[in-house]
Structure 1
Amino acid sequence: MTDVSLARNSALMALGTVVSRLLGFVRTSTLTGVVGIGLAADTFDVANTLPNQFYLLLAGGVLNAVLVPQITKAATHDDGGHEFVNRLLTISFAIIAGATVLVTALAPVLVRLFSQGWNEEALGLATAFAFICLPQVLLYGVYTLLGQVLNARGHFAAYMWAPAVANVVAIAGLVVFRFAFGKQVPVGEWTPSMIWLLAGTATLGVAAQALVLVIPLRRIGFRYRPVWGVRGYGLGSASRVALWTFAAIGVSQLGFIVTSKVMTRAGDLLHRAGEVGAGKAAYGVAFLLFMLPHSLITLSLVTALFTRMSQAAHAGRTSEIVDDVARGLKMPAVVLLPATVAAVVLGAPAVRVAFPGNSPDEASAIAGVMIAMMLGILPFGWLYLVQRVYYAYEDAKTPFYLQVVVTVVATVANLVAAVVPPDRTGVVVGLGQTISNTVAAVLGLWLLRRVLGSLHLRSTTQLYVRVAIASVVAALPTVLVVWLLHQVLPQDADGQLTWASSLVVVVVGLAVLFPVALAVAHALRVREVAVLLDPVVRRVRARRG
C-alpha cells in the first residue's frame, strides 16, 4: 500500500466516521431532548453502555488481535484463504453468540454491578432496557468480524460508514417516541411500549449496521459458509492471542465497573441535592466528544496501517513497521495538538452548540469532563498504536500487561474521584483516564524499542515540541477573540451566551486557532503540515491557473 493509497483509504474512513459521528451527535442530542438527563436517562445509559463497552473491547481487542493477522496470512493459501477465514468466522460467531446469551441472562446482575445508589424503580427500568439492549453484543461482534474481513482485503470505507445506518434507525425511533409518548417521562411512568420502542430501535439499528456489510463482501467475492473444526489449520496461535486478549478485556471491564459506579453515585448525589453536574449520562456525552477526534484521525490512520503492519510482521520486514510506527505517532499530532488546545479554549461553547437541548450549566459540566479527557487524546492514540503493533506480531501478552497498568492507575484516580465533591467527580475521572493512558503508552513505547530498535522518537519529539509551540501561540489570539465576542454577543437573562452566540464563538475561534497553529508549525518546518496542506494548495493554484 503506497502513501497515496494509505491517504485515500484514511480519507474515505475519516469521511465515513465524520458522517457517523455527526449522526451520533444528532442521536445523542435527540435522546437528551426526549429522555432528558435525569434518572431515566441514566438507567438507559447504563443499559445501553453494557453492549457498547463489549463492542469497544471486541473491536479494539480480541477480534482485531485474532482475525486480521490470521486473515492476512491466509491470503497465501491455495484457495485465497476462504476456507480458513470461514472456519475462523464460524468459531468466532459461536463464541460471541454464547457470550451474548450469557450476558443477557445476567442483565439484572450487570445492572446492579454497574450502578450505585438507585432505588428499585430505577433498577427495574434499567434491567428492562438491558434485556433488550444486551443482544447488541452479538450484532456488534458480527459487524466487527465482517468489517475486519473487508479491512484485511484492503476495503476500509464500508466498515466506517456502517455505523451511520445504526444512528439513522435510532434517530427514527426517537422521533417516533417523541410524537407517541412525549418527552422526559419519569422513571415510574415508563410502559412496556415505551421501553421496547427506545431500546428496540437502538438494537435494530445495530442489526442494520452489521447486515449492511454483507453487500460489499459479496461485491469482492467473499461468501460465508459455516465450516467447523480447528485442528490442523494453524489456529493455535490465534487461540493464544485470544486468551491473553480476553484476559485484558476482563481487567478493563473490572476497571469500568468502578468508573460506572463512581459516576452513577455522583449523579445520584447531585440529583438528591438538586444540583447540576456530571453524572453517568454526562460522562457518556463527554466520552462521545472525546472519541470524535480519535476516530477521525488516529483510528482511521492506524486501522489502515494495521493491515500492512501485519503483513510486514509476517514477512519479517521490521524497518517497514518502524516507519509505520513513526507515521502513526507523527501524523495525528499535527491536528490533535491544536484540537487539544481548542478543547480547552472552546470546550464549553462547543458542547452548548453540539447539544442545544442542554442548559448552559449542563454544557459546562459536560465540557469539564471532556476537557479532562482531551488532555490525554494523544497518549490514548499512542497506546492504541502500540497495541496494534504487538497484535501484528500476534503478541497479546504485552497489551494485557499494558491494560493492567491503565486499569490500576485509572482505578486509583476513580477512588479519589469518589471522595471529592460530586460536581468534581467527572473531572477527576477524566484526568485519571488521561494519566493512566499516558503512563501505559510511555511504557509501551519503551518496551517496543526493545523489540524493534530505534523508533525515531527524537524526530517525533521535535515535531511534538514544534506543533505544541504553534498551538500555544495560536491560543493567544483565539482567547482574545473569544473574550471580545463575549463582550458583544447576545446573552440570556442569566448572563450566559445564547446558542447562536455560542455557535459564533466556536466558528470564529476555530477559524483563528487552526490556521494560525498550522501557519506557525509550517514556519517551524514541520514537514507533516506541508503534506497535510499540499492537496489544498495544489487545488487553489489549479483554480487560479
Structure 2
Amino acid sequence: MNGGLYRSTHAAPDGEPAEQEGVTVMSVDGPETPGQPDEQQSSGGGTAGQSAIMAIGSLVSRLIGFVRNALIGMVLGQAVGDAYTGAQFLPGQIYELLLGGVLSSVLIPLLVRRRKTDEDGGQEFTQRLLSFAVIMLGVATLLVVLAAPLITAIQTSSDDTPLEFRSLVTSFAYLILPIIFFTGLSALIAAVLNVRGHFAAPMWAPILNNLVVIAVCGVFLVVFGTDKELTPANITTGEIALIGGGTLLGMVVQAIGLLPALRKVGFRWAWKWSPRQLGLGEIGSLAGWMLCYVGANQLAVFALVRALNSAGGENNPGALAFNNVFLLMMMAHGIIGVSVITALLPKMSAAAADGRLSEISDDLNRGIKLVSAALAPIVVVYAVLSGPIAVFLFQGGRITNGDALAMGQVLTVAAFAVLPLSISFLCTNAFYALQGNKTAALINLPVVGVRIAGYFVLAAVLNESLVAAGMTAANGISYLVSALISLAVLRRRIGRLHLGSVLVGLLKVAFAAAVAGGVAYLVVRLLPGSGAPDGRIEAITQIAVGGVVILIAYLGTALLLRVQEVSQVVGMVRRKIGR
C-alpha cells in the first residue's frame, strides 16, 4: 500500500489568479460552460491545468513510494516480504468494500449536488455525513481487527502455503488492519477538499506516510541489520512489531496531515449526529449497486492473493513482486488517468445534473485521447526497459539480482495493461457522474468473471515462476473487456462518443509507440548488460540511454503523424523556452 491514491491539483494562493498560464493548451475541457459549479471556476486552470499539477504531485508521491517499497523489500526479503504484502492487501480490500467505491461513485457526486443546491454550500450536510462515516468506520475497523485470523485464513488457506507463512500474515494483519479507519478518514477529507476546489493537500499527504515508513525501515536496518536471512519461521516479535506498527503510523500521520487543509477551504468539522437527515435511503440505493461492484472486485483480489501465495516463495516472484510491479503500473495510471478524471469528475457530475449529456461525451472523448497520448511512451519504457527498471528500483539488501529481473518480467506484461486500465477507469467514472452505479456494477460482473477465470487458468498452466506475470496478464485482459463494454453502453446512454476519431488517434499513438519501442530495443541490446543488467550502474545506463531514445523517437513520430495532444504539449514547451 502506498499511502492511498489521492487525487490532487493545486489551489491558487490567496490573492493570486488561479489560471495556469501555458498549461491550458492541453485542456480536455474546451470552453467554459455557463452554470458550472463554483468549484470549477475557482479551482484554476481548467482540467488540464489541474491535471498537470496533480500529475506532478502524484509523480513525487509515487517516486517516494517506490523508495519505501524498495526498502521494505531490502529489509524483509522475498519470503517475509510476500507475507507482509499479503497482509497489506487486506486493509485495501476491506476499505474498498466499506467506503472506497461508494466514495467515488456516490458521495462525491452527492456532495457536488449539495454544494450547488444547499444555502450553506453543503456545510451542514457534510458535517453530518462525516460524523456518521467516522462512527461506522470505527466500528467496522474494530470488527475486522477482531476477525483477523479468520480473514487471513481464507486468503492463505492453500495446501501449498506453509503454516509459518499463514501465522506471519496474521501477525502483520493485526497491526496493519487498523489502517482501514485512517484510510477512510483521509479519503473523506480528500473528498470534502476536492469538492471545494482544493486538490493539493490530498495529493501531497501520502508523502508524509511514505517518509514515516522509510524512516521505520531505516530504524529496522540499524537495530536488526541484514546479517541473517529473514524467513517466516525466524522473524522475531520485535521485528514484526516495528515494521507493522510503522506501517500503521504512516497512515495515521497522513490522515492528521490533511486536517489543516479543511480550515484553509473554510470548512469546520463540527460533530453532528443525525443519520436520519442524511437521506440514507438515497445513498443506500446507489451504494447497494456499488457494493455489488466492489464485492466482485474483492472476490477477484482474494483469488489473486491465494494464487500468488501458492506460487511465491524464496525462488519465485510472489505477492511482493506482483505488488511492486502493480505500483509501477499504478504510478503511470495515477499520474495520467487519475489526474485527468479527478479534474473531470466534478465537472461531469455537474453536467449530468443539468442534463448536458453532450458535454460528458466530449469530456470522455478528449480524456481518452489525452491519456492515450500521454501514457504511450510510459508503456514503451515499461516494456523495453523492464529489467533495468526493476534492478534499479528493487535490487539490494535481501533482494537479489535474480529476484529483481524476475520482477522485470512481470513489468513487461504489466506495460500492456496500463492503457486499458486508464480508459476503463475513465468510463467507469463517467457512469458515476451519471449516477449509473447499477450499470457500472452489472458491467463489472462479467469483467470480474473474465479476471478470475484468467487467474485460475493461467495459474494452472504456467510455471510457478511465471504466475505473477500471468496474474498481471489476466488483469490487463479484464481491463480491456471493461473498457470495450463500457464504451458500448455509454454510447447508448449519452449519445455519440465520436469513437471514430478516438480510434484514429489511438492508431497513430500505437504506431508512434511501436517505432519508439523498436528503436529503443535495438539500442539497449548494444549496451552493457543487453537489457538484463547485473547491477545498478548498467541499469542506470540502459534506462538513461533507452529513455532518451524512446522519448525522441515517440515525439518525432507522433509529430509527423500530427497527434494533436502531443503537438499541443510540444508547442507549450516551445513557448515556455521562448520566454
Check if 1:480 corresponds to 2:522.
Answer: yes
Contact 1:48 1:133 survives alignment (8 Å) = yes
List alignment gaps of at least 5 residues for structure 2.
Answer: 1-39
Matches within 5 A, 1:248-263: 248-263=293-308
Distance in 1, Cα, partners of 2:442 & 2:412: 27
Contact 1:13 1:160 survives alignment (8 Å) = yes
Greater Cα shift, 7-16 or 140-149 = 7-16
Contact 2:112 2:346 survives alignment (8 Å) = yes
**1:539 — aligned with what?**
576
Distance in 2, Cα, partners of 1:15 & 1:431: 28
**2:310 — aligned with what?**
265
**1:458 — aligned with what?**
500
Give secondary structure in 1 for the equivalent of 2:527.
helix
Within the candidate set 318, 327, 345, 2:357 is matched to 318
**1:508 — aligned with what?**
545
Contact 2:391 2:533 survives alignment (8 Å) = no
Give secondary structure in 1 for the equivalent of 2:86.
helix
Check if 1:202 corresponds to 2:231.
Answer: no
Distance in 2, Cα, partners of 1:512 & 1:74: 50
- Deviation at 1:374? 2.1
**1:140 — aligned with what?**
183
Instruction: Calculate the TM-score normalised by the size of structure 2.
Output: 0.88
Distance in 2, Cα, partners of 1:479 & 1:188: 43
* Superposed CA offset, 1:165-203 (max 9, x none): 100001111111111112343323333322221111100
Within the candidate set 321, 326, 338, 1:282 is matched to 321
Structure 1 residue identity aligned to 2:53:
L
Contact 1:156 1:304 survives alignment (8 Å) = no
* Superposed CA offset, 1:186-238 (max 9, x none): 32333332222111110010011111111111111101122223445544322
* Superposed CA offset, 1:55-98 (max 9, x none): 46667511111211111111121111111111222222222222
- Deviation at 1:255? 1.0
**2:33 — aligned with what?**
none
Within the candidate set 89, 96, 104, 2:145 is matched to 104
**CA 1:8–1:55 in 2, change beyond 3 Å: closer, same or farther?**
farther
Distance in 2, Cα, partners of 1:459 & 1:518: 20
* Superposed CA offset, 1:241-294 (max 9, x none): 1111112221111111111011110014xx4xxxx3321111111111111100
Within the candidate set 180, 184, 189, 2:234 is matched to 189
**1:37 — aligned with what?**
78
**2:438 — aligned with what?**
397
Structure 2 residue identity aligned to 1:356:
Q
Contact 1:104 1:134 survives alignment (8 Å) = yes
Check if 1:159 corresponds to 2:199.
Answer: no
Distance in 2, Cα, partners of 1:58 & 1:287: 22
Contact 1:348 1:367 survives alignment (8 Å) = yes
Give secondary structure in 1 for the equivalent of 2:528.
helix
Structure 2 residue identity aligned to 1:484:
L
Within the candidate set 393, 401, 414, 2:455 is matched to 414
Structure 2 residue identity aligned to 1:438:
L
Greater Cα shift, 46-55 or 16-25 = 46-55
Check if 1:329 corresponds to 2:374.
Answer: no
Matches within 5 A, 1:23-172: 23-38=64-79, 40-55=80-95, 61-75=101-115, 76-115=117-156, 116=158, 117-172=160-215
- Deviation at 1:54? 3.7
Check if 1:435 corresponds to 2:450.
Answer: no
Within the candidate set 389, 392, 409, 1:350 is matched to 389
Contact 1:100 1:135 survives alignment (8 Å) = yes
List alignment gaps of at least 5 residues for structure 1.
Answer: none
Distance in 1, Cα, partners of 2:359 & 2:275: 32
Instruction: Calculate the TM-score normalised by the size of structure 1.
Output: 0.93
Within the candidate set 410, 413, 424, 1:369 is matched to 410
Contact 2:340 2:367 survives alignment (8 Å) = yes
Contact 1:417 1:426 survives alignment (8 Å) = no
Within the candidate set 285, 289, 292, 1:240 is matched to 285
Give secondary structure in 2 for the equivalent of 1:468.
helix
Contact 1:413 1:429 survives alignment (8 Å) = yes
Distance in 2, Cα, partners of 1:496 & 1:463: 35
Contact 1:262 1:417 survives alignment (8 Å) = no
**CA 1:378–1:57 in 2, change beyond 3 Å: closer, same or farther?**
farther
Contact 1:338 1:468 survives alignment (8 Å) = no
**1:229 — aligned with what?**
274
Structure 2 residue identity aligned to 1:307:
P
Contact 1:312 1:321 survives alignment (8 Å) = yes
* Superposed CA offset, 1:350-382 (max 9, x none): 111111313332122112222222212111111
Structure 1 residue identity aligned to 2:366:
R
- Deviation at 1:152? 0.8
**CA 1:134–1:60 in 2, change beyond 3 Å: closer, same or farther?**
closer
* Superposed CA offset, 1:124-158 (max 9, x none): 22211101100101110001010011111111121
RMSD: 1.9
**1:530 — aligned with what?**
567
Contact 1:10 1:300 survives alignment (8 Å) = yes
Distance in 2, Cα, partners of 1:235 & 1:532: 45
Contact 1:58 1:64 survives alignment (8 Å) = no
**CA 1:236–1:398 in 2, change beyond 3 Å: closer, same or farther?**
same
Give secondary structure in 2 for the equivalent of 1:485.
coil
Check if 1:387 corresponds to 2:407.
Answer: no
Distance in 1, Cα, partners of 2:277 & 2:329: 44
Distance in 2, Cα, partners of 1:397 & 1:101: 30
Structure 2 residue identity aligned to 1:166:
N
Give secondary structure in 2 for the equivalent of 1:418.
helix
Distance in 2, Cα, partners of 1:503 & 1:54: 38
Q: What percentage of aligned pairs have identical amino acids? A: 35
